[in-house]
């Protein structure tokens, strides 16, 4: 008898539970406003919808511009197989950031206001414009996939003609707003804890976004190889992990120099929650960075994946520290997100995974050669590679 309903698995059940709680939280947000759905207050106006959904969302989508720059501008052809998934992640990421904003803005119906009401002195204004333009660029960068799928050769040729200026524009816009998310917090020197407040926040945000973009690419390649049973592009990912290690080393080095110039190392002796969160954040970046310098670790899919995940979590910890926890003492408020805030955030993440899965399944996202390879073959290949060492 043919199966009428999709099979119930643990993951699908979790997904359904998250989406249901998200739907109820959405109802609360719409009916009772921010007061009825969040733990925000006058002294703590930004919670996880900004700290995670926007700040982490934009950063985790940075793989799009990093890989476009590497493949099409620096001409590192080798990375081409992971370009499309990275662009897709970026496009989805930005779309979901806008969804997050619709929850967080007091007047989501006025999302378009910055486009017509200008204040060039505002960082938020710059971010709004960059994100809008870059989402458009990402849409255009993703369009060839759709055209290919439906065999539309004429528009495909047309879009190829404008692709280089488009890609340069995309990289520029990303450079601007990835760093500007850090600039946002330069206005609160007396509120943000000195372990995080530094005039070079924009630079730190930019460098760490490049790093996490690479880490996310490794992360999603690993997941899609499992989900679709295709070969993992191991040599490619290992070489990318090497770049990741270098980028994160640069990042850590800049942070070290900055802290020594600002004479804040003595703060690390204080037994405060900020100190521990700082150590956590640094460890989550430092450990994988050191590990990824070793060929042996880079060439083992599991360990490579674990390192990428650590970098992603280190990045998230950093953005949450800057956007939320580092501001608590200075604001004199203890903020814990309400369940409905968490539910919405989880729903957005879950929706991201699900939409990625569906698009990757039905559109030519991964290289056809890779699709052809079967899972057992892939496992054998990996075993061979490990054996080589």
Partner 1 sequence: MPKAILYDSTLCIGCKACEGACAERWGLPYNDKVAAEEHISAHKLTAIETHGDKFSRRLCMNCLQPACASVCPVGALQKTALGPVVYDASRCMGCRYCMQACPFQVPSYEWDKRLPKMRKCDMCFERQSAGKLTACAEACPVGATKNGNRDELAAEAQQRIAEKPGQYYPKVYGLKEVGGTSVLYLSGVPFEQIGLRTNVPGEPLPETTWRVLELVPDVVSTGTVLLGGIWWITNRRTEVSRKEGRR
| Least distance between partner 1 and beta carbon 244 (Å) | 21
Please give the Cα distance from 195 to 267 (Å, whole number): 8
Contact between 107 and partner 1 by CB under 8 A: the answer reads yes
Contact between 20 and partner 1 by CB under 8 A: the answer reads no
* Among positions 183, 221, 300, 325, the unique one binding partner 1 when judged by CB under 8 A: 183
Q: Which residues are CB-contacts of 136 (< 8 A; sequence separation ≥ 6)?
A: none
Contact between 48 and partner 1 by CB under 8 A: the answer reads no
| Least distance between partner 1 and beta carbon 337 (Å) | 15
Contact between 144 and partner 1 by CB under 8 A: the answer reads no
| Least distance between partner 1 and beta carbon 135 (Å) | 16
φ/ψ bin of 151: left (φ > 0), alpha (ψ from -120 to 50), beta (otherwise) = left
| Least distance between partner 1 and beta carbon 171 (Å) | 6
Contact between 117 and partner 1 by CB under 8 A: the answer reads yes
* Among positions 19, 28, 98, 105, the unique one binding partner 1 when judged by CB under 8 A: 105
Residue count, binding to partner 1 (CB under 8 A) = 59
* Among positions 22, 85, 93, 202, the unique one binding partner 1 when judged by CB under 8 A: 202
Applying the rule CB under 8 A, the residues between 313 and 342 that interact with partner 1 are 327, 331
Q: Which is nearer to partner 1, 2 or 106 (CB)?
A: 106
Among the listed residues 280, 311, 283, 307, the one whose alpha carbon sits nearest the alpha carbon of residue 294: 307
Contact between 235 and partner 1 by CB under 8 A: the answer reads no
Please give the Cα distance from 80 to 365 (Å, whole number): 11
Q: Which residues pair with 41 in a beta bridge?
A: 44
Q: Which is nearer to partner 1, 74 or 276 (CB)?
A: 74
Q: Which stretch binds partner 1 (CB under 8 A): 113-121, 258-266, 280-288, 357-365?
A: 113-121
* Among positions 12, 43, 160, 334, the unique one binding partner 1 when judged by CB under 8 A: 43
Q: Which stretch binds partner 1 (CB under 8 A): 115-123, 153-161, 207-215, 273-281?
A: 115-123
Backbone angles phi, psi at 232, to 5 degrees: -80, 130
* Among positions 133, 140, 143, 172, the unique one binding partner 1 when judged by CB under 8 A: 172
Using alpha carbons, list the distances in angstroms from residue 16 to 21, 23, 158. Answer: 9, 10, 41
| Least distance between partner 1 and beta carbon 270 (Å) | 17
Q: Which is nearer to partner 1, 17 or 187 (CB)?
A: 187
* Among positions 111, 156, 236, 286, the unique one binding partner 1 when judged by CB under 8 A: 111
Q: Which is nearer to partner 1, 151 or 332 (CB)?
A: 332
Binding site residues, partner 1, CB under 8 A = 30-36, 40-43, 45-46, 69, 72-75, 104-108, 110-111, 113-114, 117-128, 164, 168, 171-172, 175-176, 179-180, 183-184, 186-191, 199, 202, 327, 331
């Amino acid at each position: 008898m043919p199966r009428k309903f999709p099979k119930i698995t643990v993951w699908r059940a979790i997904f359904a539970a998250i989406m249901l709680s998200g739907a109820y939280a959405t109802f609360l947000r719409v009916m009772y406003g921010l007061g009825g759905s969040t733990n925000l207050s006058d002294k703590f106006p930004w919670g996880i919808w900004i700290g995670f959904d926007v700040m982490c969302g934009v950063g985790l989508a940075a793989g799009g511009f990093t890989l476009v720059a590497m493949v099409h501008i620096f001409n590192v052809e080798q990375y081409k197989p992971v370009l499309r998934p990275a662009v897709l992640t970026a496009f989805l990421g930005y779309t979901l950031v806008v969804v997050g904003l619709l929850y967080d803005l007091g007047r989501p119906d006025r999302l378009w206001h910055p486009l017509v009401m200008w204040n060039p002195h505002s960082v938020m204004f710059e971010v709004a414009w960059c994100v809008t333009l870059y989402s458009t660029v990402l849409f255009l960068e993703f369009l060839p996939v759709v055209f290919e799928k439906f065999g539309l050769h004429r528009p495909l040729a047309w879009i190829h003609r404008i692709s280089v200026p488009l890609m340069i524009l995309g990289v520029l816009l990303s450079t601007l707003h990835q760093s500007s998310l850090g600039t946002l917090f330069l206005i609160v020197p007396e509120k943000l804890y000195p372990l995080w407040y530094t005039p070079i926040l924009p630079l730190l945000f930019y460098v760490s976004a490049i790093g996490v973009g690479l880490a996310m690419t490794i992360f999603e390649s690993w997941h899609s190889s499992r989900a679709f049973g295709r070969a993992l592009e191991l040599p490619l990912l290992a070489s990318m992990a090497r770049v990741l290690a270098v980028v994160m080393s640069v990042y850590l080095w800049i942070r070290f120099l900055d802290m020594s110039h600002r004479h804040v190392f003595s703060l690390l002796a204080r037994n405060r929650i900020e100190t521990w969160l700082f150590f956590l954040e640094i460890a989550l970046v430092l450990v994988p960075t050191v590990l990824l310098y070793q060929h042996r670790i880079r060439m083992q899919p599991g360990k490579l994946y674990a390192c990428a995940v650590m970098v992603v979590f280190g990045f998230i910890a950093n953005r949450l520290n800057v956007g939320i926890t580092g501001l608590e003492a200075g604001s004199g408020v203890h903020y814990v997100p309400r369940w409905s805030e968490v539910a919405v955030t989880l729903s957005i993440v879950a929706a991201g995974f699900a939409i990625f899965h569906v698009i990757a399944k039905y559109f030519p996202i991964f290289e056809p050669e890779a699709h052809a390879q079967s899972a057992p073959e892939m496992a054998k290949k990996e075993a061979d590679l490990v054996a080589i060492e």
